[in-house]
Amino acid sequence: MPNRYAVILAAGQGTRMKSKLYKVLHPVCGKPMVQHVVDHISKLNIQEIVTIIGHGAEMVQAQLGDKSLYALQNEQLGTAHAVMQAQKMLEGKDGITIVVCGDTPLIKAETMEALFKHHENLSAKATILTATIDNPTGYGRIIRSAEGLVEKIVEHKDASEAERKINEINTGTYCFDNQALFEALKRVSNDNVQGEYYLPDVIEILKKQGEVVTAYQTDEFEETLGVNDRVALAEAERIMRLRINEAHMRNGVTIIDPANTYIEADVEIGQDTVIYPGTMIKGQTTIGTECVIGPNSEIDTCEVGNETVIRQSAAFNSSIGSHVNIGPFAHIRPDSTILDDVKIGNFVEIKKAVFGKGSKASHLSYIGDAEVGSDVNIGCGSITVNYDGKNKYLTKIEDGVFIGCNSNLVAPVTIKKGSYVAAGSTITKNVPEDALAIARAKQMNKEGYVQKLNLKK
C-alpha cells in the first residue's frame, strides 16, 4: 500500500457562523467538528496527519492534542495557500495525500477509504470526492467534458448561470499524489472573484498537464455537508444524531423516538437499555445493560451500572451503580457516588456525596458533602446543613441509620451506626451508635384553650 498522508484545513475564522468560537470548534453532537474529522481519519492508516491552523490556533491545537501535527497559516489566503503550509512537512514524500476540510464532520471513514481505493485503482494524480445534491448553492461545481471526464472545479461565486445549474459538487475532500500536489500548488493564482488561492484549481492545473484526474461520487450526499453557518450546523447535528442513535439501536439499545433523543458521540450504552424521548446523554457517559433512561433525563459524564432507572432527572459527573432507581425530578450533582440498589426519589438533590448500597432518600431531601453508609433511610424533607455561609462541612451517616422526616443534620456531624434520629430534629452533636436522638421542642397540649381565647364562634 502506498504511504498515506492527510491535511486537514482548519485555519479559517468562519465568518458566516457569526460567533466568538472558531468555526471548526463548534460542536456537533458534543464533539468539535474538526475532532470528528480527525477521529474519522485516524481510522485510515495514515502516516502523518497535518492540521492547518490559523484562527484560534492554540484552541484547535489544545483540542486535537498529539493526534495531529500542525502547520500555521498566518494569513488566510485560501484553501490552496492553506495546504501549502504543510509543504515543509510533506513535500518530496512519496504517497497519497487526502485533504479534508475541518468543517465537514459527517464524511465517514469508509467513504474516505473508498476514495483512496478509487484513486489508487485508477492510478490518478487527483481524485475529488463529489456528490449530487438538490441545492448546490455555495459549493464548488464539478465541470465535466462532453465525454464525462472531470475538467475542473468552479467556485459558486465564480460560476456562470449555466455552471450554477450543475448539481454535482465538490465536497472539499480530495486525494492527491503527494508530489504532484505540491508541484501544482506552486502554480495556483488568486485571480478570481474572492481573490483567494483555491485548492480546487489544482484539478485544472493537473488536467492541463495531461495527468489522470478523476471523481469519486458518493451517493450518501448527507455526508458531504459543509458547515458554514448555524443553519447547516443544526442540519449536521440532526444527521449525526440519527446516525449515532441508529448505531446504538443496531447494538441492541431501544430508542423510542430517535428524532427526540440526543446522545453525544462518545457515549456508550449496553444492550436492552431503553431510552425514552427528550433524553440527552452527554460527554463521556457509559450506561450499562437493561437500564431505563428518561423520558426527559439529562445525563452528562456519568458512569451508570445495569438495570438502573433514571426518570425525568439530571445527573452530572457522577457514578451511579446497578439497580438504582432515580427520579422523577431528582438532581445528582457532580462528584457523587451512588452505589447499588439505592433509591433517590422525587425532588431529592445529591451533591458531592457517597450514597451507600441499599440506602434510600425517597422524597424532598438535600444531601450535600456527605458520606452515607449502606441501608440508610433518609426520611422525607431531611437535609444536610453543609454550609455556614463561608465553608462547607461533612456529614457522616453510618450504616443502618434511620433519619426521621424533616430533620436538619448540621455539619460537621456524624450519625453513628444503627442510630435513629427522631422526625423534626435539628442535630448539632454527634449521635452515638444505636442511640435515638431527639432534638426538637416538646409538644404541649393546652386543653380547652381554643374556647378560652374565644377563637371559635
Residue ranges binding Ca ion (CB under 5 A)? 103, 226, 228
The beta strands (E) that lie in 261-308 are given as 261-263, 268-269, 274-275, 279-282, 286-287, 292-293, 298-300, 303-304
Per DSSP, the chain holds a count of helices (H) and strands (E) of 10, 39
Pick from 57, 155, 312, 425: which binds ligand UD1 (CB under 6 A)?
Answer: 155
DSSP letter assigned to residue 8: E
Q: State the Cα–Cα distance between residues 441 and 239, nearest whole angstrom.
A: 62
Return the C-alpha cell found at 258: 430517535
To Ca ion, the closest distance from the beta carbon of 228 in angstroms equals: 5
Torsion of CA 164, 165, 171, 176, to 10 degrees: -80
- Residue 281 binding ligand UD1, by CB under 6 A: no
Burial 368-404 (b: 16+ CB within 10 A, else e): bbbbbbbbbbbbbbbbbbbeeeeeebbbbbbbbbbbb
Size of the site for ligand UD1 (CB under 6 A): 30
To ligand UD1, the closest distance from the beta carbon of 132 in angstroms equals: 13
Which CB, 82 or 292, lies closer to ligand UD1? 82
Which region among 10-18, 118-126, 254-262, 374-382 touches ligand UD1 (by CB under 6 A)?
A: 10-18
Pick from 7, 28, 64, 82: which binds ligand UD1 (CB under 6 A)?
Answer: 82
| Pattern 124-153, ligand UD1, x by CB under 6 A | ---------------xx------------x
Which secondary structure element, helix H or strand E, spans residue 233, and what is its range? helix 230-250
- Residue 10 binding ligand UD1, by CB under 6 A: yes
- Residue 12 binding ligand UD1, by CB under 6 A: yes
Binds 326: which of ligand UD1, Ca ion, none (CB < 5-8 Å by kind):
none
To ligand UD1, the closest distance from the beta carbon of 57 in angstroms equals: 11
In Å, what is the CA distance from 450 to each residue of 337, 441, 443, 444?
51, 21, 16, 14
To ligand UD1, the closest distance from the beta carbon of 178 in angstroms equals: 18
- Residue 76 binding ligand UD1, by CB under 6 A: yes
Return the C-alpha cell found at 16: 458566516
| Pattern 97-126, ligand UD1, x by CB under 6 A | ----xxxx----------------------
Pick from 3, 228, 289, 430: which binds ligand UD1 (CB under 6 A)?
Answer: 228
To ligand UD1, the closest distance from the beta carbon of 141 in angstroms equals: 8
Pick from 51, 171, 261, 382: which binds ligand UD1 (CB under 6 A)?
Answer: 171
Helix intervals (H) in 136-229: 161-164, 178-185, 201-208
Q: Estimate to the nearest angstrom the gap between the alpha carbon of 239 and the chain centroid.
A: 14
To ligand UD1, the closest distance from the beta carbon of 73 in angstroms equals: 5
Which CB, 86 or 314, lies closer to ligand UD1? 86
Is the backbone peptide bond immediately before 277 cis, with ω within 30 degrees of 0? no
CA angle centred on 372, ends 366 and 378, rounded to 5°: 50
| Pattern 384-423, ligand UD1, x by CB under 6 A | ----------------------------------------
- Residue 17 binding ligand UD1, by CB under 6 A: no
Q: In this structure, are strands 150-154 and 141-144 parallel, antiparallel, or unpaired?
A: antiparallel
Q: State the Cα–Cα distance between residues 453 and 372, nearest whole angstrom.
A: 48
- Residue 78 binding ligand UD1, by CB under 6 A: yes
| Pattern 30-59, ligand UD1, x by CB under 6 A | ----------------------x-------
Which region among 5-13, 86-94, 263-271, 340-348 touches ligand UD1 (by CB under 6 A)?
A: 5-13
Q: State the Cα–Cα distance between residues 10 and 82, nearest whole angstrom.
A: 9
Binds 76: which of Ca ion, ligand UD1, none (CB < 5-8 Å by kind):
ligand UD1
Q: Positive or negative, the Cα torsion across 237, 243, 244, 246?
A: positive
DSSP string, 70-112: EEE-SS---HHHHHHTTHHHHTT--SEEEEEETT-TT--HHHH
Which CB, 79 or 377, lies closer to ligand UD1? 79
Q: One of 118, 156, 323, 363 is an active-site residue; which one?
A: 363
The residues that bridge with 353 in the sheet, in sequence order, are 370
Is 363 annotated in the active site? yes
Q: Which of residues 204-223 bind ligand UD1 (CB under 6 A)?
A: none
- Residue 26 binding ligand UD1, by CB under 6 A: no
Return the C-alpha cell found at 227: 458547515
Q: Which of residues 183-202 bind ligand UD1 (CB under 6 A)?
A: 198-200
Q: State the Cα–Cα distance between residues 166 and 397, nearest whole angstrom.
A: 72
Q: State the Cα–Cα distance between residues 139 and 74, nearest whole angstrom.
A: 25
Which region among 78-86, 288-296, 328-336, 381-389 touches ligand UD1 (by CB under 6 A)?
A: 78-86
Q: Estimate to the nearest angstrom the gap between the alpha carbon of 447 and the chain centroid.
A: 66
**Given the rule CB under 6 A, which residues bind ligand UD1?**
9-12, 24, 52, 73, 76-79, 81-82, 101-104, 139-140, 153, 155, 169-172, 198-200, 226, 228
Q: Which residues are catalytic?
A: 363
